[in-house]
Structure 1
Amino acid sequence: MYNGISVKRVNKKNMRIIMRTKIGHFFLTFLLLASFNTHALFNEGQARLESEKNTISIFKDSVNSVVNISSLGKLRARRGFFFSSSTREVVKGEGSGWIWDKNGHIITNYHVVEGADNFLIRFNNNKKEYKATLVGTEPAKDIAVLKLLEVPRDITPLKTGDSNNVQVGQKAIAIGSPFGLDATVTTGIISAKQRGIQGIGGVEIRGMLQTDSSINPGNSGGPLIDSSGNVIGVNTMIFSSSGSSAGVGFAVPINIVKKIVPQIIKFGMVKRPGLGIAIAEKRELAYFYGIDLEKGLPIQSVRPGGPSEKAGLKGLSQNPRTREVKLGDVILKVDGKEINDFDDIFNILYEYKVGDIVEVLYRRGSALKKAKVKLEEIKR
């Protein structure tokens, strides 16, 4: 006993206080360590800095290979009392492009060069304006190739990637001249793949890359680049009611570009493969002749001596006495891929070369038939 108080009771009480204090210190230390370790494992500022470094590096490496293109056209003006006329060149439009090779070939969009006679090219690191000439175009894919008449010594082509390996969600960097402002970079991601967009050439462009990287007027023809610095697409168009970026832009995949550009450089055009047939319009068949078709593509005619005629395919026929039109063969599939309209057959055959052999599944009356057809070059 100490002053009437049990020492044992005092010790027990003190022990409880000491234990509670130690447990509190333990949890506080644990929380501090956990917070420190989490901060060490994931530093948001550091992660953001690495992404910024990547963008800065790619921009520096690529910007001098991205060009501004001014499309020039002739303007005829009248003057004076006797209406004498003069012709001068004016800028009809502007866009972007990028260096394809050391020979000075430049890739851009068809709609950037459409209707123009001459072109002026400006580099980011060179104040001189260079003249370029049109090598050829492929309106169906909205691609054009220009060639510099004078090639700078320090010209550097951009590296190209593989658009088949592009993943939704990966980084996408667009460089170009929106609204005529040279050397502009925007970043985002690949939002979707395999989009089908109606192109300027009157046929659907399939397999397009969708991105939320800002693409505005003037960006057309510029490169879409991945985080490794490889071109994965050619910026082509936006979906917007205002004409400015709304976060939905599209690019022609680089694998399409790599397929057609060598042909344009070599031949001035793309040699398209075809079946040697003319296609009948379903709406016209239904309206004029009461022939309704839900599936398949009706053949209007086959070219005499062409591959489809050799394979036994037939087009529409007409009874000379009654003038009644009889349906010919209806193509259902080409190499197992369904065909229901012109866009289908155009895009499927675009994947082949002249001279390739394809299997055509078609319907004649109620019978299903197959034929092997050797693709020929479509003359334009």
Structure 2
Amino acid sequence: MLLIGALCAQLVSAAPVGVKPRAVTPRGELAVDERATIDLFERSRASVVFISTREQVQDFWSRNVFSVPKGTGSGFVWDDLGHVVTNYHVIEGASEAVVKLADGRDYKASLVGASPGHDIAVLRISVAQKRPQPVPIGTSGDLKVGQKVFAIGNPFGLDWTLTNGIVSALNRSLSGDNGPAIDNLIQTDAAINPGNSGGPLLDSAGRLIGINTAIYSPSGASAGIGFAVPVDTVNKVVPQLIRYGKYLRPTIGIHVDEAWNQRLSAMLNIRGVVVLRVAPGGAAERAGMKGVILNRNGTVAAGDIIVAVEGRPVDTVNKWNARLDDYEIGDRVKLSVVRQGKVVELSLILQSGDQR
């Protein structure tokens, strides 16, 4: 012990006298793009919210019902009335949801409306004072592959995280696990992870251009391929959810089904949307459209087959629905229909359909 003490004393006495922290090298001004990114985040952060959900479960033995945590996600302030927009899958199956603002305040939310087909839901919270500003609305119709985008959300519960990237592709389709495919999606390489769902995708001006909705990843984490519902769709669907509690999609009064469409397309060697039935009193019936005919010998004969909407081809039910979503109820659209081997042009006025 005496030897160790003597050695330590010797090392201390040998150390340089007056050792101080090194001087900091002046950094200089931040780069222009860095300042712009910082400003975008600081302006947008307060408009983004953290959403936590709970679900009710019943104990097998006691039959008592308990409320347990279900999941987390993101959302953003839509207007000054307390409406918050998020993904439908963030709140799907939940019995309650709590919205946390950037300043730490928590509010119990009520469900206003949802459109599973667009993966959009609207919640509402009551904020009496210091209401956060709504996210500025942009447009997605003029997006270009390669332009910068920014995502703000709560990946893995790490609240108010900013990532950036570019628009990688446009008009992507993504099949739902248990629901219909979502069409016209924006593809981005901005890092999107579980918990980012429902958060805003912003352009370089800080305007909303989409809702981050999904990732493609074998591992479950970001692999550089994320998807967002375009803001033009959001701006069309959300007002209806607020007003009606559901989305009334445009239709022409026909019955179609993706599974049957695939079977009949293969059976009849055609590419298009097979009209199964025509609803009485609808625009399709008034235009003289016909559904599938079942012959006495058990064979199936196609009636009308829709192959294009305003010159844009359709060969699946999902594409058909996506094409109609580009229009409003009351709009007149031109359909290209194959009838008995010949292409017929029909002009119909879109009517209100069922919830999507």
Q: Give how far 1:169 is off.
A: 2.2
Q: Secondary structure of the equivalent of 2:117?
A: helix
Q: Give how far 1:46 is off.
A: 7.7
1:212 touches 1:248 (CA, 8 Å); kept in 2?
Answer: yes
Partner of 2:44 in structure 1?
A: 62
Partner residue of 2:287 out of 295, 303, 311: 311
Structure 1 residues 176-204: Cα deviation after superposition (integer angstroms, max 9, x where no partner) = 11101111111222222222222457333
- Aligned equivalents of 1:157, 1:135: Cα separation in 2: 17
Structure 1 residues 74-109: Cα deviation after superposition (integer angstroms, max 9, x where no partner) = 12225xxxx433222111110000101111111111
Q: Secondary structure of the equivalent of 1:63?
A: helix
Letter in 1 for 2:280: P
Structure 1 residues 20-69: Cα deviation after superposition (integer angstroms, max 9, x where no partner) = xxxxxxxxxxxxxxxxxxxxxxxxx9896211111111111111111110
Q: Cα distance 1:224–1:267, how it changes in 2: closer, same or farther (>3 A)?
A: same
- Aligned equivalents of 1:163, 1:134: Cα separation in 2: 26
| Alignment coverage as a number of residue pairs | 327
Normalising by structure 1, we get a TM-score of 0.80
Partner of 2:154 in structure 1?
A: 177
Partner residue of 2:190 out of 210, 213, 226: 213
Structure 1 segments of 4 or more deviating over 6 A? 45-48
- Aligned equivalents of 1:370, 1:165: Cα separation in 2: 30
Partner of 2:74 in structure 1?
A: 96
Q: Secondary structure of the equivalent of 2:319?
A: helix
Matched, 1:114 2:89: no
Q: Give how far 1:152 is off.
A: 4.2
2:275 touches 2:292 (CA, 8 Å); kept in 1?
Answer: yes
- Aligned equivalents of 2:332, 2:166: Cα separation in 1: 39
Matched, 1:243 2:225: no
Partner residue of 1:52 out of 13, 16, 34: 34
Partner of 2:110 in structure 1?
A: 133
- Aligned equivalents of 1:123, 1:244: Cα separation in 2: 25
Partner of 1:72 in structure 2?
A: 54
Partner residue of 1:269 out of 246, 252, 271: 246
Alpha-carbon RMSD across the aligned residues, in angstroms, is 2.1
Aligned residues with identical type, % of pairs? 41
Letter in 1 for 2:273: L
- Aligned equivalents of 1:47, 1:170: Cα separation in 2: 25
1:70 touches 1:95 (CA, 8 Å); kept in 2?
Answer: yes
- Aligned equivalents of 1:145, 1:195: Cα separation in 2: 24
Mapping of 1:275-294 within 5 angstroms? 275-279=252-256, 281-285=260-264, 291-294=267-270
1:140 touches 1:201 (CA, 8 Å); kept in 2?
Answer: no
Letter in 1 for 2:279: R
Structure 1 residues 151-179: Cα deviation after superposition (integer angstroms, max 9, x where no partner) = 54332111111122323222211111110
Letter in 1 for 2:72: E
Matched, 1:331 2:306: yes
Q: Cα distance 1:183–1:324, how it changes in 2: closer, same or farther (>3 A)?
A: closer
Q: Unmatched 5+ residue regions in structure 1?
A: 1-44
- Aligned equivalents of 1:200, 1:231: Cα separation in 2: 26
1:211 touches 1:250 (CA, 8 Å); kept in 2?
Answer: yes
Q: Secondary structure of the equivalent of 2:240?
A: helix
- Aligned equivalents of 1:222, 1:129: Cα separation in 2: 17
Q: Cα distance 1:144–1:167, how it changes in 2: closer, same or farther (>3 A)?
A: same
Letter in 2 for 1:239: Y
Q: Secondary structure of the equivalent of 2:32?
A: helix
Normalising by structure 2, we get a TM-score of 0.86
- Aligned equivalents of 2:342, 2:149: Cα separation in 1: 50
Q: Unmatched 5+ residue regions in structure 2?
A: 1-26
Partner residue of 1:372 out of 326, 342, 347: 347
Partner of 1:346 in structure 2?
A: 321
- Aligned equivalents of 2:135, 2:228: Cα separation in 1: 16
Letter in 2 for 1:70: S
- Aligned equivalents of 1:225, 1:260: Cα separation in 2: 19
Mapping of 1:19-30 within 5 angstroms? none
Partner of 2:13 in structure 1?
A: none
Q: Secondary structure of the equivalent of 2:152?
A: strand
Q: Give how far 1:370 is off.
A: 2.3
Q: Cα distance 1:366–1:207, how it changes in 2: closer, same or farther (>3 A)?
A: closer
1:142 touches 1:200 (CA, 8 Å); kept in 2?
Answer: no
2:283 touches 2:350 (CA, 8 Å); kept in 1?
Answer: yes
Q: Give how far 1:375 is off.
A: 1.7
Answer with 1 or 2: which has the greater Rg: 1
Structure 1 residues 249-305: Cα deviation after superposition (integer angstroms, max 9, x where no partner) = 111111111111111111111111112111262443378xxx422322221111122
Partner of 1:229 in structure 2?
A: 206
Q: Cα distance 1:193–1:323, how it changes in 2: closer, same or farther (>3 A)?
A: closer
- Aligned equivalents of 1:51, 1:154: Cα separation in 2: 29
